[in-house]
Amino acid sequence: MKDKYDVNKYFGIPVNTDNSGAYQLKVDDHGDVKIHTWLTGKHTKGKFKQPGQLLLTENNLMVMIVAEEKMAFKDRHAEVPLQRFTSEFATEELLAQGLKIYSNDN
């Protein structure tokens, strides 16, 4: 099948900026920070480099990646594709917070 491409699943936490422009974890209406998943699609732009990198979803939501795993091509419709990887990275402190939340969820 010539149209096959590598599919990876990314675990991430949405982020927003505070008044000084620094990224912070986005808290939902219940005061929780949640892990969500996205995958590389056929038209995803950019390259994944490492956890802490920020990605942009198809809904223009900025997300900090905390983990990555390979995904079977046939399972790709189970997740939402991401739009692009950015060249921005979260601070080490923010990544540490995200990794702690991720490890508690798994």
Structural domain includes residue 2: no
Structural domain includes residue 22: yes
Query: What is the model's pLDDT at position 2?
Result: 59
Query: What is the model's pLDDT at position 105?
Result: 80
How many domains is the chain built from? 1
Q: Residue 58: which domain range?
A: 8-105
Strand partners, 34: none
Query: What is the model's pLDDT at position 77?
Result: 75
Residues 6+ apart with CB under 8 A from 64: 12, 13, 14, 15, 23, 25, 52, 53, 54, 90, 94, 95, 98
What pLDDT digit, counting tens, does each position of 55-101 carry? Answer: 999 999 999 999 999 887 777 777 888 999 999 999 999 999 999 99
Strand partners, 16: 24
pLDDT > 70? residue 1: no
Structural domain includes residue 100: yes
What pLDDT digit, counting tens, does each position of 16-56 carry? Answer: 999 999 999 999 999 999 999 999 888 889 999 999 999 99
H helices of the chain, in order, are 92-105
